[in-house]
Amino acid sequence: MSDTLKFQLIEGDIKSLARCISLVENEAPGYEAFMQSLNTSNKGQIIGITGPPGAGKSTITDALIGAFTADNKKVAVLCVDPSSPFNLGALLGDRIRMSEWYNNPNVYIRSLASRGSLGGLNPKIIEISEIIKAAQFDIVIIETVGVGQSEIEIAGLADVTVVVLVPESGDEIQTMKAGLMEIADIFVVNKSDREGADAFINTLKQMLAPVFHHKQQEIPIVKTIASTKEGIELLKEKITATNTSKVNDRKSWLLAERAYQLIRSKRMQDIEKSDLKKEIENNEGLINLYQFIKKYY
Protein backbone atom coordinates (compact mmCIF):
# COMPACT_ATOMS: atom_id res chain seq x y z
CA MET A 1 0.00 0.00 0.00
CA SER A 2 1.71 3.13 -1.28
CA ASP A 3 2.32 6.54 0.28
CA THR A 4 0.34 8.03 -2.61
CA LEU A 5 -2.70 6.01 -1.59
CA LYS A 6 -2.33 7.18 2.01
CA PHE A 7 -2.01 10.83 0.91
CA GLN A 8 -5.14 10.53 -1.24
CA LEU A 9 -6.98 8.96 1.69
CA ILE A 10 -6.06 11.81 4.05
CA GLU A 11 -7.19 14.28 1.38
CA GLY A 12 -10.62 12.62 1.48
CA ASP A 13 -10.56 10.89 -1.91
CA ILE A 14 -13.50 8.45 -1.84
CA LYS A 15 -11.99 5.98 -4.31
CA SER A 16 -8.83 5.78 -2.24
CA LEU A 17 -10.90 5.29 0.90
CA ALA A 18 -12.80 2.39 -0.69
CA ARG A 19 -9.55 0.83 -1.91
CA CYS A 20 -7.86 1.14 1.49
CA ILE A 21 -10.78 -0.56 3.22
CA SER A 22 -10.74 -3.44 0.73
CA LEU A 23 -6.98 -3.91 1.02
CA VAL A 24 -7.08 -3.94 4.81
CA GLU A 25 -10.17 -6.14 4.98
CA ASN A 26 -8.45 -8.69 2.74
CA GLU A 27 -5.06 -8.32 4.51
CA ALA A 28 -3.17 -7.26 1.38
CA PRO A 29 0.65 -7.15 1.66
CA GLY A 30 1.75 -4.03 3.51
CA TYR A 31 -1.59 -3.38 5.23
CA GLU A 32 -0.07 -3.62 8.72
CA ALA A 33 2.59 -1.00 7.99
CA PHE A 34 -0.15 1.17 6.50
CA MET A 35 -2.25 0.90 9.67
CA GLN A 36 0.80 1.70 11.82
CA SER A 37 1.36 4.91 9.86
CA LEU A 38 -2.14 6.31 10.37
CA ASN A 39 -2.72 9.23 12.70
CA THR A 40 -5.22 8.09 15.34
CA SER A 41 -5.80 11.55 16.79
CA ASN A 42 -8.83 12.28 14.59
CA LYS A 43 -11.82 12.81 16.86
CA GLY A 44 -14.58 11.70 14.52
CA GLN A 45 -17.56 10.45 16.52
CA ILE A 46 -18.58 6.80 16.14
CA ILE A 47 -22.32 6.14 16.51
CA GLY A 48 -23.52 2.56 16.84
CA ILE A 49 -27.05 1.73 15.65
CA THR A 50 -28.36 -1.65 16.79
CA GLY A 51 -31.67 -3.33 17.51
CA PRO A 52 -33.82 -6.29 16.42
CA PRO A 53 -34.52 -6.95 12.73
CA GLY A 54 -37.36 -4.84 11.35
CA ALA A 55 -37.01 -2.07 13.91
CA GLY A 56 -36.08 0.46 11.21
CA LYS A 57 -32.31 0.77 11.78
CA SER A 58 -31.59 1.53 8.14
CA THR A 59 -34.36 4.15 7.93
CA ILE A 60 -33.09 5.78 11.15
CA THR A 61 -29.57 5.78 9.73
CA ASP A 62 -30.78 7.33 6.47
CA ALA A 63 -32.59 10.09 8.39
CA LEU A 64 -29.52 10.77 10.57
CA ILE A 65 -27.38 11.18 7.45
CA GLY A 66 -29.69 13.98 6.36
CA ALA A 67 -29.65 15.61 9.80
CA PHE A 68 -25.85 15.59 10.12
CA THR A 69 -25.12 16.64 6.52
CA ALA A 70 -27.49 19.59 7.03
CA ASP A 71 -24.96 20.72 9.65
CA ASN A 72 -22.15 20.44 7.07
CA LYS A 73 -20.80 17.24 8.62
CA LYS A 74 -19.03 14.54 6.62
CA VAL A 75 -20.79 11.25 7.36
CA ALA A 76 -19.62 7.70 6.74
CA VAL A 77 -21.93 4.73 7.20
CA LEU A 78 -20.78 1.13 7.72
CA CYS A 79 -23.65 -1.33 7.34
CA VAL A 80 -22.64 -4.72 8.74
CA ASP A 81 -24.65 -7.50 7.10
CA PRO A 82 -24.76 -11.28 7.38
CA SER A 83 -22.16 -13.00 5.20
CA SER A 84 -22.84 -14.95 2.05
CA PRO A 85 -21.89 -18.61 2.71
CA PHE A 86 -20.29 -18.75 -0.74
CA ASN A 87 -17.99 -15.71 -0.97
CA LEU A 88 -18.16 -14.21 2.57
CA GLY A 89 -19.43 -10.95 1.06
CA ALA A 90 -22.25 -8.84 2.50
CA LEU A 91 -25.56 -10.57 1.84
CA LEU A 92 -27.81 -7.47 1.98
CA GLY A 93 -25.43 -5.03 0.38
CA ASP A 94 -27.86 -3.07 -1.81
CA ARG A 95 -28.88 -0.54 0.90
CA ILE A 96 -31.79 0.77 -1.17
CA ARG A 97 -33.07 2.92 1.71
CA MET A 98 -29.94 5.10 1.52
CA SER A 99 -29.76 5.41 -2.26
CA GLU A 100 -30.25 9.19 -2.33
CA TRP A 101 -26.83 9.72 -0.70
CA TYR A 102 -24.65 7.72 -3.08
CA ASN A 103 -23.58 10.74 -5.13
CA ASN A 104 -23.21 13.11 -2.20
CA PRO A 105 -19.50 14.02 -1.78
CA ASN A 106 -19.92 14.35 2.00
CA VAL A 107 -21.40 10.87 2.45
CA TYR A 108 -19.72 7.47 2.17
CA ILE A 109 -21.73 4.25 2.54
CA ARG A 110 -20.18 0.81 2.69
CA SER A 111 -21.71 -2.61 3.33
CA LEU A 112 -19.47 -4.99 5.25
CA ALA A 113 -19.92 -8.69 5.85
CA SER A 114 -19.90 -9.97 9.42
CA ARG A 115 -17.84 -12.96 8.15
CA GLY A 116 -19.06 -15.13 10.99
CA SER A 117 -18.09 -12.69 13.73
CA LEU A 118 -20.17 -13.42 16.85
CA GLY A 119 -20.08 -9.78 17.89
CA GLY A 120 -22.37 -8.72 15.06
CA LEU A 121 -19.54 -6.73 13.47
CA ASN A 122 -16.89 -7.19 10.79
CA PRO A 123 -13.60 -8.68 12.15
CA LYS A 124 -11.71 -5.63 10.82
CA ILE A 125 -14.21 -3.06 12.06
CA ILE A 126 -11.69 -1.32 14.33
CA GLU A 127 -9.20 -0.90 11.51
CA ILE A 128 -11.88 0.24 9.05
CA SER A 129 -13.18 2.81 11.54
CA GLU A 130 -9.68 4.26 11.91
CA ILE A 131 -9.25 4.45 8.13
CA ILE A 132 -12.52 6.39 7.80
CA LYS A 133 -11.56 8.80 10.57
CA ALA A 134 -8.19 9.32 8.84
CA ALA A 135 -10.17 10.42 5.77
CA GLN A 136 -11.48 13.34 7.85
CA PHE A 137 -15.05 12.16 8.39
CA ASP A 138 -16.83 13.86 11.28
CA ILE A 139 -19.40 11.13 11.92
CA VAL A 140 -19.07 7.36 11.50
CA ILE A 141 -22.39 5.49 11.81
CA ILE A 142 -22.12 1.73 12.25
CA GLU A 143 -25.30 -0.27 11.76
CA THR A 144 -25.05 -3.82 13.08
CA VAL A 145 -26.58 -7.07 11.83
CA GLY A 146 -29.11 -7.08 14.66
CA VAL A 147 -29.24 -7.45 18.39
CA GLY A 148 -28.78 -10.65 20.36
CA GLN A 149 -26.99 -12.21 23.28
CA SER A 150 -23.54 -12.01 21.69
CA GLU A 151 -24.01 -8.87 19.59
CA ILE A 152 -22.94 -6.24 22.13
CA GLU A 153 -19.49 -5.59 20.70
CA ILE A 154 -20.76 -2.36 19.20
CA ALA A 155 -20.95 -0.89 22.73
CA GLY A 156 -17.18 -1.13 23.00
CA LEU A 157 -16.46 0.42 19.61
CA ALA A 158 -19.03 3.23 19.53
CA ASP A 159 -18.82 6.53 21.36
CA VAL A 160 -22.62 6.55 21.43
CA THR A 161 -24.76 3.40 21.17
CA VAL A 162 -28.34 3.80 19.96
CA VAL A 163 -30.70 0.84 20.44
CA VAL A 164 -33.72 0.98 18.11
CA LEU A 165 -36.96 -0.71 19.14
CA VAL A 166 -40.58 -0.64 17.98
CA PRO A 167 -43.81 -0.81 20.03
CA GLU A 168 -44.16 -4.50 19.13
CA SER A 169 -40.76 -5.24 20.75
CA GLY A 170 -42.39 -5.93 24.13
CA ASP A 171 -41.80 -9.68 24.04
CA GLU A 172 -38.27 -9.18 22.69
CA ILE A 173 -37.11 -6.85 25.46
CA GLN A 174 -38.49 -9.28 28.03
CA THR A 175 -35.92 -11.80 26.82
CA MET A 176 -33.02 -9.35 26.56
CA LYS A 177 -30.05 -9.97 28.82
CA ALA A 178 -29.35 -7.31 31.45
CA GLY A 179 -25.98 -6.62 29.85
CA LEU A 180 -27.70 -5.96 26.54
CA MET A 181 -30.00 -3.42 28.13
CA GLU A 182 -26.97 -1.67 29.61
CA ILE A 183 -25.20 -1.09 26.28
CA ALA A 184 -27.60 1.68 25.24
CA ASP A 185 -26.69 5.32 25.64
CA ILE A 186 -29.95 6.23 23.88
CA PHE A 187 -33.11 4.20 23.21
CA VAL A 188 -35.20 4.96 20.15
CA VAL A 189 -38.80 3.79 19.91
CA ASN A 190 -39.37 3.94 16.17
CA LYS A 191 -42.75 3.74 14.42
CA SER A 192 -44.14 5.47 17.51
CA ASP A 193 -47.39 6.32 15.71
CA ARG A 194 -48.42 2.70 16.13
CA GLU A 195 -50.90 1.61 18.76
CA GLY A 196 -49.39 0.85 22.14
CA ALA A 197 -46.29 3.02 21.72
CA ASP A 198 -46.79 5.01 24.94
CA ALA A 199 -47.53 1.87 26.97
CA PHE A 200 -44.39 0.27 25.56
CA ILE A 201 -42.29 3.30 26.53
CA ASN A 202 -43.64 3.12 30.09
CA THR A 203 -42.77 -0.57 30.23
CA LEU A 204 -39.30 0.18 28.90
CA LYS A 205 -38.78 2.87 31.55
CA GLN A 206 -39.75 0.42 34.28
CA MET A 207 -37.33 -2.19 32.95
CA LEU A 208 -34.56 0.39 32.77
CA ALA A 209 -35.06 1.72 36.29
CA PRO A 210 -32.29 -0.52 37.75
CA VAL A 211 -29.97 0.50 34.89
CA PHE A 212 -30.69 4.20 35.55
CA HIS A 213 -29.75 3.67 39.19
CA HIS A 214 -26.53 1.88 38.25
CA LYS A 215 -25.48 4.55 35.75
CA GLN A 216 -26.68 7.37 38.00
CA GLN A 217 -28.13 9.10 34.97
CA GLU A 218 -31.27 8.66 32.91
CA ILE A 219 -30.92 7.06 29.50
CA PRO A 220 -32.89 9.12 26.93
CA ILE A 221 -35.82 7.45 25.19
CA VAL A 222 -36.62 9.18 21.90
CA LYS A 223 -39.84 8.62 19.96
CA THR A 224 -39.39 8.64 16.18
CA ILE A 225 -41.25 7.99 12.97
CA ALA A 226 -38.19 7.58 10.79
CA SER A 227 -40.13 7.27 7.54
CA THR A 228 -41.32 10.88 7.94
CA LYS A 229 -38.17 12.13 9.78
CA GLU A 230 -40.24 12.88 12.89
CA GLY A 231 -38.10 12.91 16.04
CA ILE A 232 -34.82 12.68 14.11
CA GLU A 233 -33.67 16.20 14.99
CA LEU A 234 -34.19 15.45 18.69
CA LEU A 235 -32.29 12.17 18.30
CA LYS A 236 -29.39 14.03 16.66
CA GLU A 237 -29.35 16.50 19.57
CA LYS A 238 -29.28 13.66 22.12
CA ILE A 239 -26.42 11.97 20.25
CA THR A 240 -24.44 15.21 20.06
CA ALA A 241 -25.05 15.92 23.76
CA THR A 242 -23.83 12.49 24.89
CA ASN A 243 -20.44 12.69 26.58
CA THR A 244 -17.94 10.93 24.30
CA SER A 245 -14.77 12.10 26.02
CA LYS A 246 -14.66 9.19 28.43
CA VAL A 247 -12.43 6.20 27.71
CA ASN A 248 -14.94 3.64 28.90
CA ASP A 249 -14.18 0.20 30.24
CA ARG A 250 -16.04 -1.48 27.37
CA LYS A 251 -13.87 0.17 24.73
CA SER A 252 -10.69 -0.71 26.64
CA TRP A 253 -11.72 -4.37 26.78
CA LEU A 254 -12.62 -4.43 23.07
CA LEU A 255 -9.24 -2.96 22.10
CA ALA A 256 -7.44 -5.31 24.50
CA GLU A 257 -9.22 -8.29 22.93
CA ARG A 258 -8.32 -7.15 19.42
CA ALA A 259 -4.70 -6.52 20.44
CA TYR A 260 -4.57 -10.02 21.96
CA GLN A 261 -5.89 -11.55 18.74
CA LEU A 262 -3.34 -9.68 16.62
CA ILE A 263 -0.42 -10.64 18.88
CA ARG A 264 -1.54 -14.27 18.96
CA SER A 265 -1.84 -14.47 15.18
CA LYS A 266 1.65 -12.97 14.81
CA ARG A 267 3.22 -15.46 17.20
CA MET A 268 1.40 -18.38 15.54
CA GLN A 269 1.99 -17.38 11.93
CA ASP A 270 4.87 -19.87 11.40
CA ILE A 271 2.94 -22.80 12.90
CA GLU A 272 0.63 -24.90 10.73
CA LYS A 273 -1.80 -27.47 12.10
CA SER A 274 -0.99 -29.80 9.19
CA ASP A 275 2.70 -29.80 10.18
CA LEU A 276 1.78 -30.58 13.79
CA LYS A 277 -0.42 -33.44 12.59
CA LYS A 278 2.40 -34.94 10.48
CA GLU A 279 4.85 -34.76 13.37
CA ILE A 280 2.37 -36.46 15.66
CA GLU A 281 1.76 -39.16 13.05
CA ASN A 282 5.52 -39.73 12.71
CA ASN A 283 5.58 -40.50 16.42
CA GLU A 284 2.58 -42.80 15.97
CA GLY A 285 0.66 -40.59 18.34
CA LEU A 286 2.77 -41.75 21.29
CA ILE A 287 3.73 -38.36 22.65
CA ASN A 288 3.43 -36.36 25.83
CA LEU A 289 1.44 -33.41 24.56
CA TYR A 290 3.01 -30.92 26.96
CA GLN A 291 6.55 -32.05 26.11
CA PHE A 292 5.60 -31.84 22.44
CA ILE A 293 4.42 -28.22 22.57
CA LYS A 294 7.27 -27.00 24.79
CA LYS A 295 9.61 -26.47 21.83
CA TYR A 296 7.13 -23.99 20.34
CA TYR A 297 7.15 -21.66 23.34
Digit-coded pLDDT (tens) for 238-272: 999 886 555 566 677 777 877 887 888 888 888 88
Q: Is the pLDDT of residue 214 over 90?
A: no
- Which residue range is the domain that position 27 belongs to? 1-38
**Quick one: 273 and 156 in the same domain?**
no
**Quick one: 240 and 102 in the same domain?**
yes
Do 191 and 56 form a contact (C-beta atoms < 8 A)? yes
What is the tens place of the pLDDT at every residue in 153-212?
777 788 898 999 998 876 656 555 555 567 788 999 999 999 889 998 998 888 877 666
Assigned domain for 252 exists? no
Q: Is the pLDDT of residue 70 over 50?
A: yes
**Quick one: 58 and 178 in the same domain?**
yes
> How many independent structural domains does the chain possess?
3
**Quick one: 127 and 9 in the same domain?**
no
DSSP letter at 131? H
**Quick one: 140 and 18 in the same domain?**
no
Count, in order, helices (H) and strands (E) of the chain.
13, 7
34-38, 47-51, 142-146, 232-236: lowest mean pLDDT where? 142-146
Assigned domain for 122 exists? yes
**Quick one: 173 and 223 in the same domain?**
yes
Residue 140, helix vs strand vs coil: strand
Give the end-to-end CA distance of the chain in Å, rounded to a whole number: 33
**Quick one: 165 and 290 in the same domain?**
no
Assigned domain for 251 exists? no
**Quick one: 75 and 48 in the same domain?**
yes
Distances (CA, A) of 259 to 24, 123, 145, 255: 16, 12, 24, 6
Identity of the highest mean pLDDT range in 80-84, 226-230, 281-285: 226-230
**Quick one: 89 and 159 in the same domain?**
yes
Please give the pLDDT value at position 87. 43
Mean of pLDDT values over 25-38:
90
Assigned domain for 171 exists? yes
